[in-house]
Chain A
């Protein structure tokens, strides 16, 4: 999943939080972002089912794969908060 860069950004967030320069992230905030990613995933899945052209289909599949990867990372982030 390639979490090393996310871990670095999460550490920076914690540093800023400790200094009072960041707002506390709660579970519901991450769920809200996941919901937005799910919206895009659903849209792309519909596009894939309606697309005939192979190259276009491949592009949508790549995008869906990217969105699913982001959802995985968001869920991992939820376990860290």
Chain B
């Protein structure tokens, strides 16, 4: 879609703009006003993003506990950030990462549609009535001082202030531009009445919003044009309705890199806005009458069409919410039916995608889930390489007895499965971590990403270790060949038991879980390696084991020990407490590698 835009639409836009600049200098001021306004919105987004890494994520998690809370959050956040697109992007990211529910995300979108109307009030009620550039100048001057500060929050505040300043400056230039433009060119010549006018201007409003990627910018343009008498009130209403539809395109484009949940939310946005627009078109006359009545009630002059447009914008969006709220459960059911849950991909990432890469909280959560997915694939492959069935193992009351009974070699190509189910997923995880580390993340998140990278490295290494011992394991355990069979079964049993322990850690409630549960396993793995070495020596002395058999087994036991150590470490890195005091306690109480060589932990 991007390439189509670049090849066709973009050149047309640039050509129209260039022609416009040549025909009218005042058009330049309007276009520059729009550009400055949009730049202001980018600054606002940059500013609010600096506050992520705690505040925003915690707020969002708590704010979606009920429909009323999500709705209120949507209204408030869009009013503060002056961008329904930003709120949509945040909601899609958080939903994709599983941090909020679909119902919570839909509630936020509903609220955002009301919150976005405050932009029209800001412009019509304040921007047009005062010399807004007088406020913009000091804001911009102060903001640049803040932007150069080291503190993330001061920098963020600077960007937000700059964003607001540019917003005001953009409004000023659009206002000035339309005032001057009026003298040369009368756009009201293009005014259309009736239903045809409604549809044409609705489409123009939608198109303008898609091009500018901002319904706020479209509304500001409409209000300033209306205040300058360049468009009729009737056509301005249609443009406002069109802007509501155009803004859903932004959400749809944003959802293209999201998972099925993100796509559902974008569809919810589209359905809501299209239904709201449809209702507004059908009931336009009663809504206009209601706007007149409300305007009279609050003291808005009958000829103040800019403010009345702001009232209209709020009324028809609020009407949409009132109509859709009782239908929310049906909407969610429709979304789930239309975009079903994706079948869990074994070889491809399930959780990490571009949408979750926007915020530290979503990056961490999605990565943990994806690495758990990698672990799951790896454990299955390790067990299959040892000719053990995972489900049978987990249900076996006696692991040793199960392992001894599992003689039949599995007919699998371990190398091919490694390529398909481990390497491809590991590559995607590494790529995601690498891209995430290029972003401006809090230090704690960076440390976590490094730790999670180690977790995936260790697990992949474990699979490679086990690949080495598969051939001999299959040969010596498919039939009873004496002591060598017992040795290889012992090795398989130790690996299987360790995997069961690791599963217990993975399945435990995060509130109860501690990686310290695995300390004894770390010591045990070393002890088992040493015991097996001693045992092999004793068997050779007795003549029960040939030199060749002993060599094979000792090599494989070394691989097996390294695989055990790698699986344990991978699990510890994945399930360690997030950076903080609890992680410090775990770190102090955990054994170092030297401690494991001389343990006082296991008698």
Interface positions of A (Cβ within 8 A of B): 1-2, 5-6, 9-10, 13, 22-26, 29-30, 32-33, 36-37, 39-40, 53, 55-56, 62-63, 65-67, 69-70, 73-74, 77
Q: Do residues B585 and A62 form an inter-chain contact, with CB atoms below 8 A?
A: no
14 A-B pairs with C-beta separation under 8 A: A2-B595, A5-B592, A5-B595, A9-B587, A13-B587, A25-B584, A29-B582, A33-B514, A37-B517, A40-B517, A55-B400, A66-B519, A67-B520, A70-B519
Distance of A67 Cα from B592 Cα, bound (Å): 17
Residues of A within 8 A of B600 (CB): 1-2, 69
Interface size class of B (residues with CB under 8 A): 20 to 34
Q: Do residues A77 and B584 form an inter-chain contact, with CB atoms below 8 A?
A: no
Q: Do residues A22 and B585 form an inter-chain contact, with CB atoms below 8 A?
A: no
Q: Do residues B512 and A36 form an inter-chain contact, with CB atoms below 8 A?
A: yes
- Once A13-B584, A22-B584 are accepted as A-B contacts, the answer to whether A73 and B589 lie under 8 Å apart by CB is yes
Q: Do residues A32 and B520 form an inter-chain contact, with CB atoms below 8 A?
A: no
The 8 A-B pairs at the shortest CB distance, nearest first, are namely A2-B600, A66-B520, A36-B514, A29-B581, A9-B588, A23-B581, A25-B581, A33-B585
Is B591 an interface residue, CB under 8 A from the partner? Answer: yes
Question: For residues 478 through 530 of chain B, which have their beta carbon under 8 Å from a beta carbon of chain A?
Answer: 512-514, 516-517, 519-520, 523-524
The 8 Å CB contact of A62, one of B400, B520, B580, B581, is B520
The 8 Å CB contact of B513, one of A36, A65, A70, A77, is A36
Distance of A11 Cα from B69 Cα, bound (Å): 46
Distance of A22 Cα from B603 Cα, bound (Å): 34
Among residues of A, the one whose C-beta sits closest to the C-beta of B512 is: A39
The 8 Å CB contact of A23, one of B398, B514, B584, B602, is B584
Residues of B within 8 A of A22 (CB): 584
**Closest Cβ of chain A: how far from B554's Cβ, in Å?**
23
Is B586 an interface residue, CB under 8 A from the partner? Answer: yes
Q: Do residues B589 and A66 form an inter-chain contact, with CB atoms below 8 A?
A: no
Residues of A within 8 A of B398 (CB): 53, 56
Q: Do residues B589 and A32 form an inter-chain contact, with CB atoms below 8 A?
A: no
Distance of A29 Cα from B514 Cα, bound (Å): 13
**Closest Cβ of chain A: how far from B508's Cβ, in Å?**
8
Distance of A13 Cα from B588 Cα, bound (Å): 8
Is B10 an interface residue, CB under 8 A from the partner? Answer: no
The 8 Å CB contact of A26, one of B520, B581, B601, is B581
Q: Do residues B520 and A63 form an inter-chain contact, with CB atoms below 8 A?
A: yes
Question: For residues 568 through 595 of chain B, which have their beta carbon under 8 Å from a beta carbon of chain A?
Answer: 579-582, 584-589, 591-592, 594-595
Residues of A within 8 A of B595 (CB): 2, 5
Residues of B within 8 A of A62 (CB): 520, 524, 602-603
Residues of A within 8 A of B589 (CB): 6, 33, 70, 73-74, 77
Q: Do residues A77 and B585 form an inter-chain contact, with CB atoms below 8 A?
A: yes
Distance of A75 Cα from B591 Cα, bound (Å): 16
Distance of A2 Cα from B580 Cα, bound (Å): 26
Distance of A15 Cα from B584 Cα, bound (Å): 13
Number of inter-chain CB pairs below 8 Å: 78
Distance of A25 Cα from B577 Cα, bound (Å): 13
**Closest Cβ of chain B: how far from A14's Cβ, in Å?**
10
Q: Do residues B603 and A29 form an inter-chain contact, with CB atoms below 8 A?
A: no
**Closest Cβ of chain A: how far from B314's Cβ, in Å?**
46
**Closest Cβ of chain B: how far from A12's Cβ, in Å?**
9
Among residues of B, the one whose C-beta sits closest to the C-beta of A17 is: B584
**Closest Cβ of chain A: how far from B591's Cβ, in Å?**
7
Q: Do residues B594 and A5 form an inter-chain contact, with CB atoms below 8 A?
A: yes
The 8 Å CB contact of A65, one of B512, B579, B585, B602, is B602
Among residues of B, the one whose C-beta sits closest to the C-beta of A78 is: B585
**Closest Cβ of chain B: how far from A32's Cβ, in Å?**
6
- Once A13-B588, A26-B581 are accepted as A-B contacts, the answer to whether A66 and B523 lie under 8 Å apart by CB is yes
Residues of B within 8 A of A77 (CB): 585, 588-589
Residues of B within 8 A of A37 (CB): 514, 516-517
Centre residue among B513, B580, B582, B589 by max chain A CB count within 10 A: B589
Distance of A7 Cα from B595 Cα, bound (Å): 13
Distance of A7 Cα from B514 Cα, bound (Å): 21
- Once A36-B514, A63-B520 are accepted as A-B contacts, the answer to whether A69 and B588 lie under 8 Å apart by CB is no
Among residues of B, the one whose C-beta sits closest to the C-beta of A33 is: B585
Distance of A73 Cα from B589 Cα, bound (Å): 7
Q: Do residues A65 and B582 form an inter-chain contact, with CB atoms below 8 A?
A: no
**Closest Cβ of chain A: how far from B325's Cβ, in Å?**
41
Complex interface bits, B36-59 against A, C-beta within 8 A gives 1, otherwise 0: 000000000000000000000000
Among residues of A, the one whose C-beta sits closest to the C-beta of B401 is: A53
Q: Do residues B516 and A33 form an inter-chain contact, with CB atoms below 8 A?
A: yes
Distance of A63 Cα from B586 Cα, bound (Å): 18
**Closest Cβ of chain B: how far from A1's Cβ, in Å?**
7
Q: Do residues A29 and B517 form an inter-chain contact, with CB atoms below 8 A?
A: no
Residues of A within 8 A of B519 (CB): 66, 70
Q: Do residues A32 and B582 form an inter-chain contact, with CB atoms below 8 A?
A: yes
Residues of B within 8 A of A55 (CB): 400
**Closest Cβ of chain B: how far from A47's Cβ, in Å?**
11
Distance of A22 Cα from B260 Cα, bound (Å): 39
Complex interface bits, B269-287 against A, C-beta within 8 A gives 1, otherwise 0: 0000000000000000000
**Closest Cβ of chain B: how far from A79's Cβ, in Å?**
13
Distance of A39 Cα from B412 Cα, bound (Å): 40
Distance of A33 Cα from B512 Cα, bound (Å): 9
Among residues of B, the one whose C-beta sits closest to the C-beta of A62 is: B602
The 8 Å CB contact of B514, one of A1, A2, A40, A69, is A40
Question: For residues 159 through 217 of chain B, which have their beta carbon under 8 Å from a beta carbon of chain A?
Answer: none
**Closest Cβ of chain B: how far from A40's Cβ, in Å?**
5
Residues of B within 8 A of A23 (CB): 579-581, 584
Residues of B within 8 A of A40 (CB): 514, 517
Among residues of A, the one whose C-beta sits closest to the C-beta of B509 is: A39
Other A-B contacts than A5-B592, A39-B512, 6 sampled, CB-CB below 8 A, are A5-B595, A6-B589, A13-B587, A36-B512, A65-B603, A70-B519
Distance of A77 Cα from B602 Cα, bound (Å): 20
Q: Do residues A70 and B516 form an inter-chain contact, with CB atoms below 8 A?
A: yes
